[in-house]
Structure formats: structure tokens, C-alpha cells
Amino acid sequence: MEQSYTTYFAEIYDDVMKNVPYNYWFRYLGDLLKYYQHQPESALELASGTSNMTLKLIELQSLNRITALDLSSAMLSKAAEKLEAELYNSQKFSNFKVQNNNSSYQLQQNKRNLTVNFKAQNMTDFHFKDKFDLIVSFFDSLNYLTDIDQLQGCFESAARSLNNDGLFIFDMNSVGRINTIEEKSFVIEGDSYECFWEDIVKAKENLWQVKLKICPDNDQLPCFEETHSERGYKIETILRLLKNSGFKAVDVYNAFSFATGKNHSDRLYFAAALDEKRLQQNQGKLKKLFYGARNRIDYFLVSLKYLF
């Protein structure tokens, strides 16, 4: 990762992303878990950022251990801050303890004990003492691994960190989307900043870069610049890397549907398992049709901003 997700960008990230329908993404994840009849007790989120999805994962009542991993300690500090604010402001948890300088939280809710850990680590090479039932990653974070060896390293780490009957679910921007993003520049006007955004597409390298210049509304403070790079990979390449890493079964979906994903789909969701029969343990075709149809309708309403 180049110099990105610095302290300043971490401060404004949620404001810049305020229209992202995380609630809807979480419901889609919920449907995938129901479809695969999965009730995970432990979850690892890769590239968890400021915890927009981590805070939703807490709502999965079966979970008693969540680890949120990100390379940027600035994003993780923001995440911990948000978790604390949520804990102080909501009645959901009757009791909680903070340990190790905001990196570990013990929460109590009726009979449920939940641990939430934040870890500053690289998702290309991570090791945990205890394995997880579920590993997830959202918002094209895996596209940030612009070198194929990094993506392989991430999949290998996920394979050794996943329980044998667990699921690894992640989204990625398709190679088709990366190559057809329109090159443009625009300005995002925040309450306390201006963010100059420039999209650059290098189609030959399947590379999309976003150059950001963030200027606080304060003449005393300097502007900051960041470059974000995402690489698109063909589905065949991703499947090969997953198989090389030990995943024996993989379903690929056109995001927010249960239809098979294609290289020209916009966003893809992958559900990968170490056990070759694990994905066959599902609720069957009728439920798949139901979830698919419901998510497509919701997707349409979300795009019109009627839902979530």
C-alpha cells in the first residue's frame, strides 16, 4: 500500500463514504450466511478500516470473538473510537472492559460474552493462535493488493487461519469494472475540508488509481496528498490463487445477487471453503432464488436511495 489511509484521511473517511449502504451490504452477508447454514462463533475481518462493517458484525449473535485487522493504525484508532462511542451511547451492552490500550474490548450482553480485537497487521501475511469460523473482507479492500504475490499471501494466510468448516467471504471490484471506470476529477466539499479526487485508469495494467488532495478549512494547516491503487484480477486468476492456497470450493456471485459473477460484473463476492463439500451444505435452489430476487429489488431501491 502506498502512502494512503493516513491520519488525516482516516479522520474524513466516514464522511467521504457516508452514502455507502453498509446496512444493505450487511444484510447481503447475512443472506449468504443463512444460505450456507453458517452460524460462526468467531470472525476475522480483513482491512476493516474504521469498523463500518465490524460494528455490524457485532449484531451476529452467534459471534463471541471478532478480530478486525487493518494495516493503517490511523483507521484502527478511528474504529476503536467509534466502538467506544457506540458502547457508551447504546444500551445494547450492559458491561464492557477495555484492555491493552484500546486494542481489545470485552463486551457483555445478557449471557453473551464477546471479545473485539483490533490488530494493525498486513493482510498479506497474518498469523493467529486461534482459527476463525468466518473470514470476511469488504469494499474492494483485496484489490489494494496490487501484486499477485500479495493476493496469494493473503489467501494463504486466510486458509491457515480458517477452521475446516469455515467460510471466507470477500468482495472485489471486477477487472471489467476497474478497466471501465471513467477518468474524472471532482471535489468533495466536507464541513471542515475539501477533497480533490482524481481517477486515473491504466487499463493495460488493470490498475485504477485515485489521487486525493485533502485540504482542511484552516489556512494554518497544510493540504495532504494520498494515492490509492486497486488492481483488477480475472475471476480465473482469483480462483487459481484460492485453490493454490488450499481452498477446495469457491462460489462467485455478482454482488448483491445470487447469480454467478462474471469478469464484467461490477462487484464480485467470493465464498470460499477449505472443505470441498462445505458449499453444498446450503438451503437449496428455492431459497437461493428468493434471496437473489430480494437482494436485486433492494439493490434497485438502494440505488434510488429509498432503502437503508
Ligand X SMILES: C[S@@+](CC[C@H](N)C(=O)[O-])C[C@H]1O[C@@H](n2cnc3c(N)ncnc32)[C@H](O)[C@@H]1O
Binding site for ligand X (CB under 6 A): 1, 5, 47-49, 52-53, 70-72, 75, 122-124, 138-139, 141, 144
Report the nearest approach of ligand X to the CB of residue 123 (Å).
4
Q: Report the C-alpha gap between 55 and 63 in whole angstroms.
A: 12
Report the nearest approach of ligand X to the CB of residue 10 (Å).
8
Report the nearest approach of ligand X to the CB of residue 6 (Å).
10
Cβ nearer to ligand X, comparing 45 with 278: 45
Cβ nearer to ligand X, comparing 47 with 134: 47
Report the nearest approach of ligand X to the CB of residue 139 (Å).
3
Cβ nearer to ligand X, comparing 148 with 289: 148
Residue with the shortest CB distance to ligand X: 49
The SS3 call for residue 272 is strand
Type of residue numbered 127: H
Q: Report the C-alpha gap between 43 and 168 in whole angstroms.
A: 10
Q: Give me the sheet containing 112-120, strands edge to edge.
A: 95-99, 104-109, 112-120, 65-70, 42-46, 132-137, 162-173, 267-273, 249-254
Cβ nearer to ligand X, comparing 231 with 278: 231
Q: Where are the alpha helices (DSSP H) in the chain?
A: 7-16, 22-35, 54-57, 73-89, 148-161, 175-180, 235-245, 285-303
Cβ nearer to ligand X, comparing 269 with 278: 269
Residue 228 burial (CB count, 10 A): 17
Report the nearest approach of ligand X to the CB of residue 13 (Å).
7
